[in-house]
Structure 1
Amino acid sequence: MAAMPSAPQSPWRHLPNAISSLRVVLVLPIGWLLAHRAWSSALMLVAVAGVSDGVDGFLARHFGWQSRIGGMLDAIADKLLLVSCFVILAVQGEVPLWLAWVVCGRDGVIAVGALLWRVLVGRIDPQPSLLSKACTLMQIVYLLVVLLALIRWPVPASELPGWLVAVLCVASGTDYVIRWSRRAWRALHPARVPP
């Protein structure tokens, strides 16, 4: 019996990856604008990047356009954008230095863990948790609040968003270490895992 022809794939299936790639491209102009204190323009691009982060995820999930490369692109785009923004703003004294260290430390731990997984276990399939997504969202919100304040937009003066970012970074970083350490142990010691 002849095999049934497979359904044609949508030409739009690469759209989420293209949006994630756009976010990677935006890192350089956003960094340049922040370094030159062009707050209004930086705010617009950070807002575009933040919205695109939600849009590409929605499209991938809703239409089944998820892929391994898409998950990796999304993670890389988020980390490049957020780390660069926090570092530049911290150097300029616009966000607390300790908070930038927390953000960079969390992403550094995740990056080292991913490298160890690749060396010791094999292929990596990014699977961000809800806690990780909440952490990313809070970091974007925090950056938008900081930039709004820098253009003299009337936002409430509060240290709460910064502390929420720090708590979520520590919580999600710890969650990553625990979850992926368990998976690595199971992958490397399959005979010791109870059925």
Structure 2
Amino acid sequence: MTIPNIITVLRFLMVPAVVYSLLVGAMMPAFVIFVIAGISDGVDGFIARHYDQQTELGAYLDPIADKLLLVTVFIMLAILNHLPHWLVVLVVSRDILIVIAVILSSVMSQPLDMNPILVSKANTAFQIALAAVVLAELAFGVTFGDLRLILIYLVAALTILSAAAYLRVWIDHMAGSDGR
């Protein structure tokens, strides 16, 4: 197993640590683990690209680890009433719909690689920023004023735009693959 894949597997293991920290009210450890997980995502990608350690396994594991961390943190922050429930439903629903589209395409013998598009990358970046801001507020007892609110609405807008963009890609793929 390559070093980037080991780092990715460790990121999977950070998810329960963040959840536990949030459940017991240990906000500083939750913030620190989240930041370490975020840094590890950049590190494993850098190592994989620059030291020719990219693998098919890593190509699957890395985005799954990222989504698992983000979705879990968003759900926990909503449960603890630190993020609006409607936003978390929106974010999680988008991810579920993407997974369903990929599975449905495969079941229909029209497999589709859902490569990240620009709006999706922006969405993920702002989701990370929002989670980090909320966790930092909780860990350090500070308030970033309107920043949290701005990020909430920006994430909502980007989530909707990203879902629409992926839906368009999927519809075009399905229409083109079956000869219609």
TM-score, normalised to structure 2, is 0.87
User: Computing the radius of gyration over CA atoms, which structure comes out larger, 1 or 2?
Assistant: 1
More helix by share: 2
Partner of 2:133: 145
TM alignment of 1:1-195, pairs within 5 A: 14-121=2-109, 123=111, 125-158=113-146, 159-189=149-179
Displacement of 1:105: 1.1
Distance 1:50 1:174 in 2: 26
Contact preservation (8 Å) 1:40, 1:151:
yes
Distance 1:75 1:33 in 2: 23
Q: Structure 2: which amino acid aligns with 1:17? A: N
Aligned length: 178
Contact preservation (8 Å) 1:121, 1:188:
no
User: Which runs of no fewer than 5 residues in structure 2 stay unpaired?
Assistant: none
Q: Structure 2: which amino acid aligns with 1:107? A: D
TM-score, normalised to structure 1, is 0.81
Displacement of 1:80: 1.1
Identity of aligned residues (%): 37
* Aligned Cα root-mean-square deviation (Å): 2.1
Displacement of 1:114: 1.6
Displacement of 1:151: 2.4
Report the 3-state secondary structure (helix = DSSP H, G, I; strand = E; otherwise coil) of the residue aligned with 2:14. Answer: helix
Question: What is the CA deviation profile of residues 50-82 of structure 1, one whole-angstrom value per residue up to 9, with x for unaligned ones?
Answer: 112222233334445434332221221122111
User: Which runs of no fewer than 5 residues in structure 1 stay unpaired?
Assistant: 1-12
